[in-house]
Structure 1
Amino acid sequence: MAGFGVRDLDALQMVPHPAVTLLLEFGAGSPVLDFADGRQLRGSMVAGPGLGSGGAVRVRGENVECVQVRLSPVIARAVLGVSPADLDGAVASLGDLWGRETARICEQLSDVASWQDRFALTDALLARRHEAGPPVDPEVAWAWHRIVGSRGLARVDELAAEVGWSRKRLWSRFRSQLGLPPKRAVKLVRFDHAAHRLVAGEGAAQVAADTGYADQSHLHRDVVEFTGATPATVVAEPFLAVDDIAWPGRGTPAKPHVPGIFVRSPTGGETATAVNVAQSPALA
């Protein structure tokens, strides 16, 4: 999870990520998602894996303060109370899922004084809901962790054989419980890894060779499919640039400045790219 305080968020593109995104807002303003078809969604929300494919979703707002959580699809069903499949890669208002609890959580986040207290509050919420919710099949969880661990190089046929299921059964259970088919999960995880290596400054040809693409053209097609941008231009996307600060451990260097994004430090100061981060047991 990470905390963001944004004075003026100017239509940043959402870049697809292999996680369920939970956004809890509590500031004076509200984040607004604009969709290519003209739809809008405002306030606290939850998005299925791969939100923003094709560059079709942008987020904006003024005086936005929020806690953003990237939930593994393996635990998302228990935490949300619905399967990520019900989101189908789209976005839902959190109030539609949690009712009055959403407003109560946002009030609590606003009432506490520090980001660390907000993280602790959010962590307790996630842990409580996760404990009470239904788990996914262990075979499905294992297949997901294999896909993530291989950085999108796992083969679906081999995953099915290793858990003792048919390909059709794995596809059905995986899709219904995690919100996307295993082949799409492989593709999304591979893209995510490749995109962050591009952001780190590596050349497209080398990235393609190292991350399982047939060639550079194959990488180019996937990047365009997921972002609507070419590999040469996607590296400048602010959401990708801030990732290594907000969610460290990818091994990619952070950009020195991301215009328009301001986040509060643990001591209450404000800088252009510092993000408060909490590693939550509930997210493991």
Structure 2
Amino acid sequence: MAAIVPRPSEERLVETRQRGMVDPYAGFDAFDFIRRAPSPEISAYVNHFWVVTWTDLAEPYEQRIVSHPTVNMTIAQDFHQIRGVIKGGFSYTMRGSGRVFGTRFRPGGFRPFLGRPVSELTDCFVEIGEMFGAAGSTLVEQVLTEPDAQAVIALTEKFLLGLEPKEDPLAEEVAALVAMVENDVSVTRVDELAARSGRSVRSLQRLFRDYVGIGPKWVICRFRLHEAAERVYQGLDLATLAAELGYTDQAHLTRDFTGAVGMTPAAYARLRSRP
């Protein structure tokens, strides 16, 4: 069993809050983004709440996302979904004025609500009302009509607690392991993570598929790509970065980066030269 490590500090969360957003600083000219910590009563399951709002956009703005190994519940006028881990990149186009309210669950944190392997949700979008019935549909209506973000968070916490989830030691274990991968860039191989966890590679793979929704190799690669995007944007040499992140060569990093981000590292680095 893995030792339970502390959750990332609020300072760490602030530092990394843009991770997963492609070209985030351009995006912040188009929309406002806030995140809020959950109350202690729901923090075993929820990582944070987030709200994106935009007003009177003259032109549509498309924000590309390089997803995290988490389940999200998202509510907007045009969709209200439970979203499993998305293996590829995806994007959302904002038009006019609008708001998206999201609940990001901790890795493993949605398993007590789902009651079955989270891998069943991977690359899937499920309507909140379909998953949670009339209570889920009522939550959607309440969120869409409530303008105050803090009130929306309170409604969502009340809804989730009303589902009576039971804390699960395996969910805590997997959350600790995912946090280890995110915060320690030296973790670059599944066998290293298995050794630290005290599990076999096969056992670790089963745990991740059941509770995270995807295998540990993908989780390691995804967090290293988040790191790469941030550091390429800051101007770090790609060959040096590839070596630090455990890639055998620069070409492999370029291939993975381009597939996830939608452009080569060199093109992404050039974005920082804009006014």
TM-score normalised by the shorter chain: which range applies? 0.5 to 0.7
CA distance in structure 1 between the aligned counterparts of 2:203 and 2:264, rounded to whole angstroms: 36
* Partner Cα distance (1:136, 1:170) in 2: 15
In structure 2, which of residues 80, 93, 114 is the aligned counterpart of residue 44 of structure 1? Answer: 80
Q: Which residue pairs with 1:110 in the alignment?
A: 144
How far apart are the structure 2 equivalents of 1:174 and 1:105? 29
Separation in 1, partners of 2:209, 2:186: 17
Q: Which SS does the other structure have where 1:132 is aligned?
A: coil
Q: What's the secondary structure of 2:109's corresponding residue?
A: helix
* 1:218 alignment partner, SS class: helix
Q: Does 1:67 align with 2:118?
A: no
Matched, 1:176 2:173: no
Structure 1 runs of 4+ aligned residues shifted over 6 Å read none
Q: Which amino acid aligns with 2:83?
A: A
Bigger relative contact order, structure 1 or 2 (CA pairs below 8 A, ≥6 apart)? 1
- 1:171–1:153 distance in 2 versus 1, CA, 3 Å: same
Select between 83-92 and 203-212 the one with higher mean Cα deviation. 203-212
* Identity in percent: 27
Q: Matched residues in 2 for 1:92 and 1:11: separation?
A: 22
- 1:89 aligned counterpart, secondary structure: coil
1:163 is displaced (CA, Å) by 3.7
TM-aligned CA deviation for residue 126 of structure 1 = 4.1
For residues 162 and 238 of structure 2, the distance between their equivalents in structure 1, rounded to whole angstroms, comes to 43
CA distance in 1, matches of 2:260, 2:129: 28
| 2:178 paired residue number | 144
Deviation digits for residues 218-273 of structure 1, max 9, x if unmatched?
Answer: 22111123233211334689xxx9xxxxxxxxxxxxx999xxxxxxxxxxxxxxxx
Q: How far has the Cα of 1:65 moved from its partner? A: 1.8
Stretches of structure 2 lacking an aligned partner (at least 5 in a row)? 1-48
Does the 8 A contact of 1:204 with 1:216 survive in 2?
yes
Work out the CA distance in 2 between the residues paired with 1:213 and 1:71: 29
Choose the corresponding residue for 1:4, options 52, 55, 64: 52
Mapped partners of 2:113, 2:185: distance in 1: 25
TM-score (norm 2): 0.67
Q: What amino acid maps onto 1:103 in structure 2? A: S
Q: How large is the Cα RMSD of the aligned pairs? A: 3.2
Rounded Cα–Cα distance in structure 2 between residues aligned with 1:110 and 1:217: 46
Shift of 1:170: 1.7
TM-score, reference length from structure 1:
0.65
Residue type matched to 1:4 in 2?
V
Report whether the alignment pairs 1:132 with 2:172: no
Counterparts of 1:133 and 1:124 in 2: how far apart (Å)? 15
Tell me whether 1:226 sits opposite 2:260 in the alignment: yes
Within 5 Å, which residues of 2 pair with 1:147-162? 147-151=181-185, 153-162=187-196
Aligned residue pairs total 222
State the distance in 2 between where 1:185 and 1:121 align: 31
Corresponding position: 1:18 with 2:51: no
Task: Name the counterpart of 2:124.
Answer: 90
Show the counterpart of 1:101. 135
SS of the counterpart of 2:102? strand
Mapped contact 1:174–1:181 kept (Cα < 8 A): yes
For the 8 Å contact 2:224–2:245, the answer to whether it is kept is: yes
2:66 counterpart SS class: coil
